[in-house]
Structure 1
Amino acid sequence: MDQNNETSNDFILLGLFPEFSHPHLLIVSILLMYIIAFTGNALLILLIWLDTRLHTPMYFLLSQLSLIDLSYVTSTVPKTVTNYFTGRKNISYFACATQLFFFLTVGLAECILLTLMAYDRYVAVCNPLRYTILMRPKVCLWMTAAVWIGSSLAALVHTIYPMHFPICGSREINHYFCEMPAILRLSCVDTSNYEMVKFVSTIVYLLIPFVLILSSYTLIFLTVLRMNSRKGRNKALATCSSHLTVVSLYFGQAIFIYMTPSSSHTPEQDQIGAVLGTIVTPMLNPLIYSLRNKEVVGALKKRMANYCNCENALCILCSQKCPIFNIQKSHSQLKS
């Protein structure tokens, strides 16, 4: 680390699993997962935006989920990789607070968004005749706006509060980014009151949404079992199973990290949970939704076919304008 660039207010990020014996392999793996996650989510957003058949509430919410996943990996991985290759582990107080704010914003937004996606599936399966009314575009826009605004305000509170706890000893954060439990461990004052505030917040943003999602899918499965059409049952279950897989991946690690006291789990366990939530899950989400969704796969094939057709047309047009092509064509005509 370059000590000359470190100030008294800087924090020191020890990185991802600092005791790991093969750091090069670890950082290359993280970088590869970041590239897959960034490419997959960006491609999914582009497909939903370009294909009019995907301009439905379900895919609009899915595009918001991909935007959240892009924010997740972009707010954590580039700083980690840069610190590793430059050898500078310090992060300024303002940069740490900014990273914590964006991380909490997208984390809280994902909890509520996954709940809205479950509600969308509930209305589509259990109340299909009212779907166009309950999930009309204006309602979807208002819901997503409320998600982002509410998450930003809650994240602002949970950024200002812990960042103002006094730090008496080392400013080394045993993590690869500025996360709340890791920062709380640095404080030299009693944080039990804030731990209670954090616990109440996690009930509101984690436990209640999780219960609502389970309730929605319980009603969905009961409705699906009463369907006479086997094709309809399979289609409903395929759509819902993708969402349930994402919910299980995300809420499992989030409940473990934020609904238990910081002292009850080690920094290594926090890092494993964070990797699952901020890197692995964003990487898997577009794969889960694309590979198991015929409409997304169809849109991707259509765009690739259009691109190939455009490339072929461009090649033909360019060859017709090429002087060498025209000479060869005239020569062949003379020979014939």
Structure 2
Amino acid sequence: MNWKMTAAIAGLTVSFAGETFAEQWNVSLWGKRRAFTEHVEKLAELVSEKTDGEFTLNISYGGLSNNRENLDGISIGAFEMAQFCAGYHADKNRAITVLELPFLGVETLEQEREISQAVYEHPAVVEEMAQWNATLLMPSPLPQYNLVGVGDAPQTLSDFEGLSVRATGGIGAAMETVGAVPTSMSATEVRQAMDSGVVKAVSFAPHAHMSFGTVENATYWTTNLNPGTVNCPVVVNTDAFEGLSDAHREALIGSVDEALDYYLDYYANNTMEAWGPLLEEKGITQVTFSDEELAAFEEAAAAPAAQAWIEENSAAGLPAQELYDLVTGMVSGES
């Protein structure tokens, strides 16, 4: 049986003699349950409740696919839902990488959510995802990234010269402007790379620093570098999605906003509340850079990265300027 037939069968609610058979979707995540996945966990709970257990989401942490291959798995129907990060394979999802440009000025998770959802609905994004038989369902809003590192804590941005840093996408491009050497690797590889000295610092949001153990041997944390964030959507196989019954599709779509509300509340009241005390407990030095240095960093990184992104993706056939203007317009409140 080929994957299209399998997906079609998985996406149907079959009735026979008045009986409705249960439907199950497989969901590919990675790592372990953490703040980053709480909206998916909540979505599964809500969908099951709304369908009286007839539609269930079976969540797997690493058992279905490598995190860098989740979009490929969605494309071939290996599973029906997955999470991925745009920076893991920017060439496959160019349009949404606009959300990973440095120094966009997004200040809250609520704003990140709103802007991401607007970008996901843009026709160019929908069309690009269609190439992978994929439909974007919801974002995973993340705060601005900062660095946890080992060794001497940087006192100025010039101290990053030659430093090997795990940083993907626009964050990596930004770190290059201050002389750092960015390396792209998946989150599950980071702790080993840090322990072995392959990288000396890691760019993550707080939840990931906790989940993937980078704080265990860390000596410092940058409190306000804030070069940007990553964009990690939850995506569904389009064939499976379209094959859902009306009731099950409504249960899924109708649960997205509630799942995201829960996620934002969880991140604020669990992750961020725990982060400061954890840094204190482990004796990690908190490094805060001056306004002057941060302004110089932004000036060096923001405009060049945006212009390069627009030129490269316009050449690839995307309405890059339009996507960039959509994001920056929403940040500034002009759209």
Same fold (TM over 0.5): no
Between Structure 1 and Structure 2, whose CA radius of gyration is higher?
Answer: 1
TM-score (norm 2): 0.25
Q: Looking at secondary structure, tell me which structure has more helix per residue.
A: 1
Q: Looking at secondary structure, tell me which structure has more strand per residue.
A: 2
